[in-house]
Amino acid sequence: MPSELRRRTPEDLLREVQAEEAAVSWGRLKIFLGYASGVGKSYRMLDEARRRKARGEDVVVGGIQPAVPEDVEAILRNLEVIVPISTGDRPIIDLQALLRRHPSVCVIDGLAYDNPPGSRHATRWEDVRELLEAGISVITSVNIQYVAELREDVEAITGKHVTETVPVAFIKSADEIELVDAAPEEPLGPAPDEHPDAERRQQRLSKLRELTLVLAAEVVDQELTKYLESHGIEQHYGTQERLLVCITPRANIRAMIDTARIIADRFHGELIVTYVQQAQISVADQAALDEKLGIARAARAQIEILDGEDPIETILEFARSRHITQLFIGHSQRSGIGPRLWGDPVDKLIRGSQGMDVRIFPQ
Amino acid sequence: MSAEARGKLKIYMGYAAGVGKTYSMLEEAQELRERGVDVVVGYFEAHGRKDTIAKAEGLEIIPRKKIEYRGSTFEEMDTDVILARSPQVCAVDEFPHTNVPGSERGKRWEDVLVLLDAGIDALTTMNIQHLESLNDQVFEFTGIRVRETIPDWVVEQADEVVMVDLPPRALLNRLDRGVVYGREKAQRALQNFFRESTLVALRELALRQTAHEVEHRAGNEDAVARKDGGPPGQANARERILVLITPDPETAMLIRRARRVGDFVGAEPLAVAVRAPGGRNGSPEDHEAIERHLNFARNLRIETRIIEGDSVAETVVDFARSNKVTQIFLARPAERRWRIPLTRDPVQSIVALARDIQIVIVSPRAPAPAR
C-alpha cells in the first residue's frame, strides 16, 4: 500500500477544514470509480445527469468518450452538450465555452486524459479543477489504472505502462465517490478453467477490482474520520484495522514486525511502529534501536517516536488518538513464572487498552 | 449426492436497504434471460419500489409458499417448487432472512445451499451488517445487535461477491423522497441504521469486505478443492489459533474475532474449553454457557475440544504446547475482574506461563459510553 493512501493526521484534517471553508463557493466533485473499461461508468454518470436534469438542475455535458454504447447515446440526445474541440490528436474540453455557459453541473468523462501541448492545462483533471473553482459542479469518471500513485501496482498487474494519470489526492478531494463494481461487458471468452489466457485475464481483473475497492474504502474512511471529528465524536468505529507495534531497543522485533505486516496487508490496514524515547540510552542501545527502526522501515511501517514520562500511558494515549485496533508488544522480559504483581508493563498495557486487541509476542 | 456440478453463487453486497441490491440482481437476471438462460425469481422483496417492480417484469416468479404460524399467514420462498422446476439460475433476495417457524429450514441461506447442491446457480443479496464476524464491530458504532447473521463460511461459498455502491447522501435523499420506505418506516429507519455516520461506516466495511472476498478468490489456487468441499482458502499450516472457551459472555465476541482474524491470515482456529476432572467444579449455568459457546463455535465451523485439568491456565498452555498452537486468543477480562487478586484470573496466568507463544487478548467492541 503506497504511503499516500495512509490515514491523515489531525493537522491534515485541520488544513482540509480550512480549505473547505475557503472553498464554499467551489463546485462539488463527484467521481465514478471503476476497475476496467466497459463496467458502465459512462452510463451511470449520464444516468445521474439525466436524473438531475429531471429534478430541475442546469446540467451540461462537457466531455464524453468519442464512441458510446447505444444506451448512453439515448441519454445524450436529451442533454445539452458543449462539444469538445477536436485537435489533431484528441479532443479537448471547451473550457472557455463551459465557463461562459456556467451550468450548475457539468459532466466530463475520462478524467485522466492529457491535453495536447499548448493547451491551457496539461491534463483534463486540471481543467476540471478550474471548473470547480469557478463554482461549477463536476460529475466525472476514472479508471483505477489511471491513478498516479497506483501506477506501479497496476503495471505489475497488467504489464502495461500508463502515461496519463490523475493524482490520488485529487480523487480523494472528491465530495462524493461512487464505485462501479459491475462485471466488464466484453465477452470473457471460454470459461476460465478451459482457457489459460482467460484465467489470467480474470486474475488481472480481480486484482484491479481489489485495488479499486480498497481505494474507495480509503476515501470513505477519510470521509468518516472527517465526519466524526467535525461532529466531536471521539469514539472510534474500527472500520479499518490499524496496527501499532511497540518496540524497545532490546526487544526481539523481527517476528512481531513480520506478523504485523502480514495482518496489515491482509486487512488492507495501516501499520505504525512506535518507540517511546528514554532519557538515558547507552550507545549500544541506540545502535540496537536504529537497527530495529531500519527493520520497521523496510516493512513499510510508519515510524512514530513518542515522548512521555510514563511510557505505557504515552503509548496508550497515542493508540487512542490514532484509533488503533491492534496493539503489538513483547512478552515481559522479567524472569519468573507465576502470578505477577501490579506494575508489570504488559499488565498495565492490557489494563489500559479497552477497545483494542493486544498481541503479546515471545521474546 | 447427484453427479451434477454444484451451482454457482453470486452475492450482491450492500450496506443498507435502498442502495440497489435487488435492482442489480434483477438486472442481471434480465440480462441472463435475454441471452437465453433459463432463469427464475425464487423470492424478491420489492418494498413497493417502482423501479424494482419494473425490473422484475417479464421474469418468471415462483409463487411463494404460505405458512401458518400463530394464526397468521407468512410467505416464504418455495424451495421444493424451485427444485422441481429446476431452472439454470434462480434469483433469491435477502440471503440472511430467517424463515418463519414451521418452515423446512431455519434460514434462507440454507435454502439457497440446497439449490446450489441441486446444481442450480443462485443470485442473492445481503447487507454487510449481517456478516457474523462483524457483529461486534457493527454493534460498536450502531448500538444495534444484529440478530439475523450469516456465518462467514456461507459467504465464502460464493463464487463472486459484487459491491452495490451508492454514496450515503444519495441514499438519504432517496429515503427522503420516499423511494426506499414509506414515510413512517423511513422515520424509524433514520433513528437506527440510517444515521449518516453509520451509513458511511457500514459502507466502508462493505467495501473492505468485498475487497477481501475478491482477493481471497483471486489468490485461491485450490478453487477446485473448495468446490469439492475441501477446506476454504489456503490454510497457513504454520499458524494455529487456540480460542479459550469460558462461560463469560465475552466468549461469543472472542470466537467471532478469532474466526475473522483466522480467515484473513489463513489460520484455522480451534476452540478449547477446560473442565475440572470428573466435572467437579462449575455451576450448571457455567456448564450450559460453555456448551452454548462451543455450539456457536461449531456453527462458525470451528473445531472444538474439551480438555480436563485443575488449573485452566496450566491445562491450556500445556495443551497449546503439545498441539503446536502458535497463537492463543483470550477475551479481555471484564473490568470488575481486574480488582480480584491476579492469581485468580486465568488470562494473566496464561500470559505469565506462555511466554513462548503469541497471545492475543481480545477486547469487546462495545459502544463507547456517552461522555
A178, A239, A337: residue with CB nearest B165: A178
Same fold, A3-9+26-230 and A242-361: yes
Split at pLDDT 50, 70, 90, the class of B274 is: very high
B167, B212, B362: residue with CB nearest A357: B362
Task: For residue B361, give every residue at least 6 positions away whose Cβ sits within 8 Å of its Cβ, in sequence order, or none.
Answer: A350, A357, A358, A359, A360, B330, B331, B332, B347, B351
- Looking at chain B, the whole-number percentage of residues with pLDDT higher than 70 is 88
pLDDT at A182 (0 to 100):
80
Tracing cell 424451495 back to the chain, one arrives at: B79
Query: Are A137 and A105 contacting, i.e. CB atoms less than 8 angstroms apart?
Result: yes
Question: Between these two residues, A90 and B262, which has the higher pLDDT value?
Answer: B262
Instruction: Spell out which residues of chain B touch residue A217, defining contact as CB-CB under 8 Å.
Output: 204, 207-208, 211
Give the amino acid at A99. Answer: L
Q: Does A210 touch chain B (CB under 8 A)?
A: yes
pLDDT at B159 (0 to 100):
94
pLDDT at A24 (0 to 100):
64
Which DSSP string corresponds to B138-198? HHHHH-----S-B-HHHHHT-SEEEE----HHHHHHHHHTTSSS-HHHHHHHHHTTTSHHH
pTM: 0.88
A257: closest CA of chain B, how far (Å): 13
Split at pLDDT 50, 70, 90, the class of B48 is: confident
pLDDT at B370 (0 to 100):
38
Residue of A nearest to B24 (CA): A182
> Which three three-digit cell numbers place residue A128?
476540471
Q: Which of the residues B204, B224, B255 would you substitute to probe the A interface, choosing the one with the greatest number of A C-beta atoms within 10 Å?
A: B204
Whole-number Å distance between alpha carbons of A50 and A74: 11
Task: For residue B237, give every residue at least 6 positions away whose Cβ sits within 8 Å of its Cβ, in sequence order, or none.
Answer: none
Question: Between these two residues, A189 and A63, which has the higher pLDDT value?
Answer: A63
SS3 B254: helix
B352, B358, B362: residue with CB nearest A362: B358
Tracing cell 478531494 back to the chain, one arrives at: A173
CATH superfamily of A242-361: HUPs (3.40.50.620)
> Are A362 and B196 in contact (CB < 8 Å)?
no
ipTM score of complex: 0.87
pLDDT at A250 (0 to 100):
83
Whole-number Å distance between alpha carbons of B371 and B363: 20
Looking at chain A from residue 163 to 192, which residues have their Cβ under 8 Å from any Cβ of chain B? 176-183
| Structural domains of chain B in order of their starting residue, each with its CATH number | 9-227 (3.40.50.300), 240-362 (3.40.50.620)
CATH 3.40.50.300 is the classification of domain A3-9+26-230:
yes
Whole-number Å distance between alpha carbons of A325 and B252: 18
Calculate the dihedral angle through the C-alpha atoms of B152, B154, B156, B161, rounding to the nearest 10 degrees: -100
Distances B98 to B76, B104, B110, B149 between C-alpha atoms, Å: 10, 12, 10, 9
Residue of B nearest to A223 (CA): B200
B351: closest CA of chain A, how far (Å): 8
For residues A290-312, average pLDDT: 93
Q: Which of the residues A181, A194, A222 would you substitute to probe the B interface, choosing the one with the greatest number of B C-beta atoms within 10 Å?
A: A181
The residues spanned by each domain of chain A are 3-9+26-230, 242-361
Q: pLDDT tens digits for B130-161? A: 999 999 999 988 888 999 999 999 999 999 99
> Are B203 and A207 in contact (CB < 8 Å)?
no
Q: What is the dihedral sign for C-alpha B250, B283, B359, B298?
A: negative
Split at pLDDT 50, 70, 90, the class of A20 is: low
A121: closest CA of chain B, how far (Å): 30
Q: Which of the residues B30, B51, B207 would you substitute to probe the A interface, choosing the one with the greatest number of A C-beta atoms within 10 Å?
A: B207
For residues A67-82, average pLDDT: 86
